[in-house]
Structure 1
Amino acid sequence: MERELLLECQRNDRNAQRKVYEKMAGKLYSVCRRYLKNDEDIEEALADSFYKIFTKMNQLQNPDIFESWARKIAVNECLQKLRTARELHIPLDEDHAFSADFSTENISFEKDILSLLNFLPEGCRAIFNLFAIEGYPHKEIADMLSISEGTSKSQLNFARKRLQELMVNQNI
């Protein structure tokens, strides 16, 4: 992201904010979509993310890390949405009800994987996203979700197994 554009955003320049929104909306929408299933929740988390980004822009010390900073805000908004909608439920047993009755079309491998994430329980999906995609360590995930590191590790393992099963069942 261009430094000058970010400086203009820090000065509350609406035109600059629109340009930043246009450049970042697709990326942050994809982040939100990995955590949330419902389109309304995704849109709300995205809007809340941009609100925070623009109101806290003055806290950004290093413009070079803007995209990762914005991404972290979006992840936190999604996790907050999951927490407030209902307590993050993380099933601990392998007998969790699980169905995968959907048809796959000729879409990219990445889209296939992302669509499979929707068939994971919310807690597993959040942990998989935080660890495998965002790169957070288990200790940080445990702190973010108020769970133990062991639970984070076991749920990541559960998510990986379920994704592998789905991939085999869907010939991905």
Structure 2
Amino acid sequence: MKILFGNKKEDLLSRLKKQDPAAQKVFYEQNVKKFLSVGKSYIIDLYQAEDCIIKAFCKIFKNIEAFRGDGNLEGWARRIVVNECLNFIKSHKTVFYIDDINPSFMVEVLEDEITVDFDAQELLNQLPDAYRMVFNLYVLEGYSHQEISDTLQISLAVSKTQLFRAKEKLRVLYLQQQKTMKNEHAQR
């Protein structure tokens, strides 16, 4: 991507590799909102999510030479953001992974109960950390169960179980949210 720096257009990546503060500012401004959104999908507390994003940007700028141009820069940087969030969670919280599937946890969703009016981030925030991490990595980041297993140092079975449970928990939370919204509408 060519950006105007001073009087001449230069490639943003080459300027970032030269540790140019103006290029770093441009990259930061282009991506901070997206990356904060990613951070908040892993870490509920806004201030902790912001800290992780700042650390991620520092790592991005410090390690920009490691980017070889395979894929796009934003995707490479996003992976650093995700890893920074996962490292924060691992270092600040105890996350328990349960590897057995409890059939009583399954809930059937009836089509007539589904509406399009819901707050997805609120639902994700209510998931236990282990469920949310696996769900986000699989659904939002596109990781395979093997990549999740390697990243979180859990077995494939645990990864699959956590995803299953996250989906079931989200289904329950969604139905509860819809019921609450219907009740609030009825009271008006």
Determine if the TM-score, normalized by the shorter chain, exceeds 0.5.
Answer: yes
Partner of 1:25: 32
- How many angstroms does 1:169 deviate by? 1.4
Q: CA RMSD of the aligned region, Å?
A: 2.2
**SS of residue in 1 equivalent to 2:127:** coil
Per-residue CA deviation, residues 71-122 of structure 1 (Å, 9 max, x unaligned), is 10000000000010023223457599xxxxxxxxxx975xx11221110000
Aligned to 2:162: 155
CA distance in 1, matches of 2:20, 2:41: 31
Output aligned runs, 1:1-172, within 5 Å. Answer: 1-2=1-2, 4-62=11-69, 65-91=72-98, 109=118, 112-171=119-178
Give the Cα separation in 2 of the matches to 1:149 and 1:92: 9
Greater CA radius of gyration, 1 or 2? 2
Cα drift, residue 25 of structure 1: 0.2
Separation in 2, partners of 1:63, 1:39? 32
**Counterpart-to-counterpart distance in 1, 2:27 and 2:72:** 14
Letter in 1 for 2:32: A
Structure 1 segments of 4+ aligned residues over 3 angstroms from their partners: 91-96
TM-score, normalised with respect to structure 1: 0.85
Unaligned runs of 5+ in 1: 97-106
Please state which structure has a larger fraction of its residues in strand.
2
Q: Aligned partners of 1:87, 1:170: CA distance in 2, in Å?
A: 28
1:115 maps to amino acid: E
How many pairs does the alignment contain?
Answer: 160
Q: Which runs of 5+ in 2 are unaligned?
A: 3-9, 106-115, 182-188
Question: How much does 1:58 deviate?
Answer: 1.0
